[in-house]
Structure 1
């Protein structure tokens, strides 16, 4: 297979160098002459003069930011520097690498990445230069926290130059930062094969081993927690089915269907304690259009016991003192949306097993009304 690359150029003679320099000077003069002439101003204020000097390519201390207007002479110099018709691919790659290094030195890592990328696109064919471009771009990505991109570039640099120590160290650090601890250890071992006394790499290797152990421990804990949760879910679902409790969407029942839909109960999902089901329960007060919540209602507790705790002190909204336990009626809405009275001396389990009772949205709900009150009569009449 023939080599498509052009043969290397022979070194320029002194005469040829002088001719090339003269040609570049002439082109620069022609470019400057072609620029539109600015109208001669009168007296230039000091601050304006200072700005002119600062922006002149010969005196500027920093390259212009992307998107800002460039001095015509600077623009001309840039064109000469990066024009592919005036520069060989290797010259372009080196120019972009130098720009990238300048930006990197001044902590302009994104600008550095752009410069290194342009150098890579030049495809100069020199594996040494290309490996450096990839490794330098890896460093810029690393300082931005782009560890995956940094690792990809470091590994590409190693493909071009397998014994590239800086790329090996960079790859090891990227693996550590991205949680690939086994791979980090492998890279550290490759470095230590050549330099066993490298304390920085020894430390990185030990840190990777320590983090690997922590990660494996956390993974074991997560698996154990999942198994425990699954076992608990199977136990709870089995107990619900055994008790014959009617739940909306009973088919393929799982705990996800029993997740409370109210923010106040998000952390109060039903559980099982000592073989008894413990439910979150919603209490609705139609008179005031407010809801209250019992986060843990043991299925063996009676409604009277739980309501006695709820109304141990009078609620702020009960200005008239009508809501006393002995003067309250409790209802639930059955499958046909009828309000069914509840005997408060019965346990929660006995009520949940009543014919017609259904648990909707994963949470038992009950309506609380003052007994024989006008509010109770109006509410019951409106729901007939």
Structure 2
């Protein structure tokens, strides 16, 4: 009577366990994937080595090719490749056999994604036989997978010149034709994006010059995720939108307005950020930053201080920042893509900051 703890019938086995059992056969001479090339004291191995290389080079190579074919049918491409290589190394004299070994090894490398090796073996096969359809087919597949679609199409067309009904090559040509159309579409879109970017950069340079804006780039490149651009809602593409920093030097903190449309009054932003009825910002310990109790200052490139009126727009401030005739160029600095303004409460804080700014400016 069977024990209740002993399973009855065939038991399941994991893939890892199967692989381990198959790997164990590699040490058994009759089941080795390939025979060692060096001398051995193992009598069985020595006998097998002798048998494997017994006969003419063509017979030896044919034997290795047949073994490779068996492994290839079982999807064991790396082992099959080893046998085809041994067949090639046997230096057969039969050109048809040489071509077959090279094309078969290329088929293994195609499965293993060694596309450079595929192209090298197919090239050698085509030297032996200029009408080798298999070599053209596998070359075309490798080139297609490498996204070298023009070369893949060339391979297909060369083959179809003498083997017009080859379904495999026709299939690859169809895939390559579609891939080329897609590649061409992407390249056209990329070229169009590049053209638009260049045009926008050119228009931005003109817009900056017209608005007395002076771009100051960081030496180590921009770290600002926002950048000046034209308003997408303006069909004339003439309205500038810039990121703007509001600095609060009294508390060493700041806010960023990601998109400040140049025709928007500063008062619109201030009233939205500091409405009288809203709770104060965490850092506003004295409850001074309230709409109606604030002043805004702009600093020009030449360190002039401009007081911004509540009804002034960004475009108005840009005009006010323009330097006088016969004086060096002046304007607002766009540092790392951003404009900067100082926001202060009226009264002593404002007076003290203005005095310190002028003192520092005059000292330099």
Common topology (TM > 0.5): yes
Q: Counterpart of 1:324 in 2: which secondary structure?
A: coil
Q: Counterpart of 2:223 in 1: which secondary structure?
A: coil
Q: What residue ranges of structure 2 are gaps of 5+ in the alignment?
A: 1-20, 322-329
Specify the alignment match of 2:290 in structure 1.
Answer: 324
Q: Which of 109, 121, 131 is the matching residue for 1:163? A: 131
Alpha-carbon distance in 2 for matches of 1:121, 1:357: 75
Q: Which of 348, 354, 357 is the matching residue for 2:332? A: 357
Q: Is the 8 A contact 1:285 1:291 kept in 2?
A: yes
1:368 matched to 2:343? The reply is yes
Deviations along 1:154-209, one digit per CA (max 9) or x if unpaired, are: 23322222222221221222233233334433433444455544444333323322
Specify the alignment match of 1:261 in structure 2.
Answer: 223
Alpha-carbon distance in 2 for matches of 1:105, 1:376: 89
Deviations along 1:313-349, one digit per CA (max 9) or x if unpaired, are: 667645645433333343445547x694541422223
Specify the alignment match of 1:151 in structure 2.
Answer: 119
Structure 2 CA distance for partners of 1:288 and 1:244, relative to 1, 3 Å: closer
How far off is 1:127 after superposition?
Answer: 4.1
Specify the alignment match of 2:324 in structure 1.
Answer: none
Specify the alignment match of 1:240 in structure 2.
Answer: 208
Q: Is the 8 A contact 2:318 2:331 kept in 1?
A: no
Specify the alignment match of 1:176 in structure 2.
Answer: 144
Higher mean C-alpha displacement, 96-105 vs 203-212: 96-105
Q: Which of 285, 294, 300 is the matching residue for 2:257? A: 294
If the length of structure 2 is used for normalisation, what is the TM-score? 0.65
Q: Which of 272, 276, 299 is the matching residue for 1:309? A: 272
Specify the alignment match of 1:270 in structure 2.
Answer: 229
Q: Is the 8 A contact 1:181 1:212 kept in 2?
A: yes
Within 5 A, what are the aligned runs for 1:63-142? 63=33, 104=72, 107=75, 109=77, 127-142=95-110
How far off is 1:55 after superposition?
Answer: 6.5
Deviations along 1:70-113, one digit per CA (max 9) or x if unpaired, are: 99567756876899xx9987688667766765665565555665
Q: Counterpart of 1:359 in 2: which secondary structure?
A: strand
Q: Is the 8 A contact 1:339 1:380 kept in 2?
A: no
Alpha-carbon distance in 2 for matches of 1:74, 1:363: 80
Q: Is the 8 A contact 2:248 2:254 kept in 1?
A: yes
Structure 2 CA distance for partners of 1:246 and 1:71, relative to 1, 3 Å: farther
Specify the alignment match of 2:28 in structure 1.
Answer: 57
Alpha-carbon distance in 2 for matches of 1:279, 1:121: 69
Equivalent pairs counted in the alignment come to 317
Alpha-carbon distance in 2 for matches of 1:137, 1:380: 83
Structure 2 CA distance for partners of 1:56 and 1:207, relative to 1, 3 Å: closer
Q: Is the 8 A contact 1:261 1:362 kept in 2?
A: no
How far off is 1:303 after superposition?
Answer: 1.9
